[in-house]
Copies of this chain bind each other. A is one copy, B any other.
Amino acid sequence: MAARRPTLEEVARRAGVSRATASRVVNGSTTVAAPIREAVRRAVAELGYVPNLAARSLVTQRADSIALILPETANRVFSDDQFFPGVIRGVSQRLEAADKQLVLMLVGSPAAHDRAERYAIAGHVDGVLFASIHGADPLPELLMRAGVPVVCNGRPLGSSRVPYVDVDQLGGTEAAVRHLVAAGRRRIATIAGPQDMVAGVDRLTGYRRVMADSDQRSIVAVGDFTRESGEAAMRQLLADDPQLDAVFVASDLMAHGALRTLREAGRRVPDDVAVVGFDDIQLARYCDPPLTTVRQPIEEIGRTIARQLLRLLAGEQIEPAVILPTELVVRESA
């Protein structure tokens, strides 16, 4: 298939030096005499030599690349139009600075799950980052036990000792719901996220807590963070309690769906029903009306998980958890 590629041996021969010296030049060692260095460089250029990474990592025990595992189908990953890209961008920034290759792996199916596991344990990557973990996915824990450095985005459900980085879900949610209470709303419902994800669970917990504090009854529907599910959940809520005057929606995408249902049902936002989302994705600004929502520092999450992993790789001790702040952004929908 692929043309045979030149080896270091050939480069060395052409430059009239030993393999060891050629290797030194390729790897930027300074202890090589200038003329020899030049000769090797020329040989490399002429042959179009590129080191075989498999051979290199076999001896160095490093792969100089790290995996970002998104345990989702590609659909979910990308339908959320700013969360993943933001995280990825943050991760990229940090890894690029450390000259590590970022490898993205989407594991939706069980087969892909297994393959990713083997891939990571087999030493193709030096460490693994997880984003958006579903349920008590055993993979992070499993990899950690196998000796692979791991950092998660989002507190893992279940009892896990995997270090993670999360945002202040509870704080953000409570700020949002209190905002509705303070505005005089009396029947505040919520569209919760999937209850097998920690973001789904925490945002519902925050909502319930404020409701209890202000002696209001909880009105709950559950979605899965997609637009369609937001639409359906909103219909459900209107059926359950036609009198509701506010909704806290656990993601902006679901809020977008909810807005559509409200429009179809003839409710004006925010006059009849106030709506608050979560995430502050780009779309939030383009909703009609623009969405009041909870902003999370998405890129910072990416940068932070990458930084923690790099520290781990460097042999440092790292915090078991890092919590980043959230912030309520008030626009027109509430």
Contact = CB atoms under 8 A, between A and B. Distances in A.
Contacts of A214: none
Interface residues of A, number: 67
A85 B85 CA distance: 12
Contacts of A78: 78, 81-82, 84-85, 88
Interface in A88-139: 88-89, 92, 96, 99, 101-106, 108-109, 111-112, 115-116, 118-119, 121-124, 126
A69 to B, nearest CB: 11
A123 to B, nearest CB: 6
A313 B105 CA distance: 22
A243 interface: no
A81 B81 CA distance: 6
Contacts of A84: 78
Contacts of A312: 1
A35 interface: no
A147 B3 contact: yes
Interface stretch (A44-52, A165-173, A188-196): A44-52
A256 interface: yes
Contacts of A92: 74, 106, 108, 112
Contacts of A315: 1
Given A78-B81, A81-B81, A88-B74, A50 B103 contact: no
Nearest to A61: B2
Nearest to A117: B50
A334 to B, nearest CB: 20
A48 B122 CA distance: 11
Given A58-B52, A85-B74, A286-B260, A313 B106 contact: no
A160 interface: no
Contacts of A102: 105-106
Interface in A201-248: 227
Contact of A227 (B53, B260, B286): B286
A146 interface: yes
Interface string A150-165: 0000000000000000
A227 B1 CA distance: 43
16 contacts: A1-B149, A3-B146, A5-B121, A5-B146, A5-B147, A52-B123, A54-B55, A54-B122, A74-B85, A78-B84, A81-B81, A92-B108, A96-B111, A96-B112, A260-B286, A263-B288
Among all A-B residue pairs, the 6 with the closest Cβ atoms = A3-B147, A78-B85, A104-B104, A53-B122, A2-B147, A50-B121
Interface of A: 1-5, 48, 50-55, 57-58, 61, 63, 65, 73-75, 77-79, 81-82, 84-86, 88-89, 92, 96, 99, 101-106, 108-109, 111-112, 115-116, 118-119, 121-124, 126, 146-149, 227, 256-257, 260, 263, 282, 286, 288, 312-313, 315
